[in-house]
Each structure stands twice: as C-alpha cells, then as structure tokens.
Chains A and B, each alone.
Chain A
Amino acid sequence: GENVEQHPSTLSVQEGDSAVIKCTYSDSASNYFPWYKQELGKRPQLIIDIRSNVGEKKDQRIAVTLNKTAKHFSLHITETQPEDSAVYFCAARGFQKLVFGTGTRLLVSP
C-alpha cells in the first residue's frame, strides 16, 4: 500500500521567512496530493491540493510542487506569519484511501 514520508518533523522560522515541507510517496498510482493544516485539538483544514496532471499550483502565499517521476511533492509558504504556526500534513491518494504523512510542526516566531 501507499507510504508517505514527510520531513522535517519540526520547522522553526522567523516571521517573513519562507518555509518548505517535503513529502515522498511510494505508490505511483497515487494521483491526488492535498496539504492540511491542523491546529491543536481541531480538525485538519485543507489549504491546497494538487493533482497528478499538474506540476505546480499556487494560492497567494502558498504553493505546492509535484514531481511524479521522483514521487515527491513539497509545500512552500512565503512571507510566513505567526498565525501560520500549526502542524501541517501532506497526504496522497490512489484509488480511495488518503494516506497521511507524519506531520510537520511549524513555528513562526515574531
């Protein structure tokens, strides 16, 4: 089955810096790659997603890139703000199941 690896596990940046989180997946049949932001005790919120027929997608300060050949995808957050502090999960889906990465705790210091 699908296996998703995510790193780093923790990431500390200064406000205004960029943050990059990377994930790799194992199942070449996976075709949908969402990123979620989860605050403590709350549900994961979808922040951006990308499908396998697209290499890059951007939404304001957030962008995601996908390299299907290498089976990895990345989340890029520019001009980080303290409210970006949370745990971020990548995920990959093949036929049905959404498999999550291990999460990255992002801390943005003012």
Chain B
Amino acid sequence: GAVVSQHPSRVICKSGTSVKIECRSLDFQATTMFWYRQFPKKSLMLMATSNEGSKATYEQGVEKDKFLINHASLTLSTLTVTSAHPEDSSFYICSARGDSPEAFFGQGTRLTVV
C-alpha cells in the first residue's frame, strides 16, 4: 500500500507553546487529508478534513483557531496545536487519500503538554 509519513512521533511541549505536526504522502498525491485525535482506549475522532489548496473543514466542536490545518501541497498537510494545554495531550493521527477510496494512515504523534 501507499506510504504516509507523520512526524514527530512523540513530542513534549510546555503549556502555552505551539506544536506543529507534519503528514506527508510519500508515493502518491493526497488530494484529501484527514486529522484524527485518539484518546487512550478510544476510537479515532475526526477533527478536520482538508483538500489541497482550500481551507480545512472542521468537525463540530473542534476549534479552528486552536488546531490550525494547512494543506499546501498534494503531499503535505500540517496540524498546528496553538497555545497547547495539558488537556490537548493526546494521540494525533493523519490519514491521506488519493484517487482510491482507501485511506492510508501516518504513524501518529503522541503529544504531551506539561
């Protein structure tokens, strides 16, 4: 299958700082990228959907100004957690989709805000 690379895999940051997570499709053009958040022992909750070159569509309850998503090219999307707080600590995972219905996942990023 196609490869999606996400990094960093782990990050610890201080409360009030911002953290950027990158998601890259390595061998296909990702027209659509999705960002999920996963709490321990829970399912993947969709945060937002982004199409290359256009603004992301956020799910209800997700703050646009807190979770900034940029999909500047067909191979790169970024999620920036702004002014992070301990409650933002979670596992964030991206997935990318090209022409097929299948979505390929990145490795995930475990964010810890201290």
- Residues of A in contact with B (beta carbons under 8 Å apart): 31-32, 34, 41-46, 49, 51, 89, 93, 96-103, 105
Q: For chains A and B in complex, what number of residue pairs have CB atoms within 8 angstroms?
A: 47
Total chain B interface residues with beta-carbon distance under 8 A: 22
Q: Which residues of B contact A100 (CB under 8 A)?
A: 43-46
Q: CB-nearest residue of chain B relative to A32?
A: B101
B9 CB to closest chain A CB (Å) equals 9
A49 with B102, Cβ < 8 A, contacts A42-B108, A43-B93, A89-B43 known: yes
Main secondary structure on B side of the interface with A: strand
Q: Which residues of A contact B43 (CB under 8 A)?
A: 89, 100-103
- Residues of B in contact with A (beta carbons under 8 Å apart): 1, 32, 34, 41-46, 49, 91, 93, 95, 101-108, 110
For B34, B43, B45, B91, which residue has the most chain A Cβ atoms within 10 angstroms? B43
Q: CB-nearest residue of chain B relative to A43?
A: B105
Q: Which residues of A contact B108 (CB under 8 A)?
A: 41-43
**How far apart sit A45 and B106, CA to CA, in the bound complex (Å)?**
10
Quick check: A46 and B46 within 8 Å, CB to CB?
Answer: no
B53 CB to closest chain A CB (Å) equals 15
**How far apart sit A89 and B103, CA to CA, in the bound complex (Å)?**
14
Q: Which residues of B contact A51 (CB under 8 A)?
A: 101
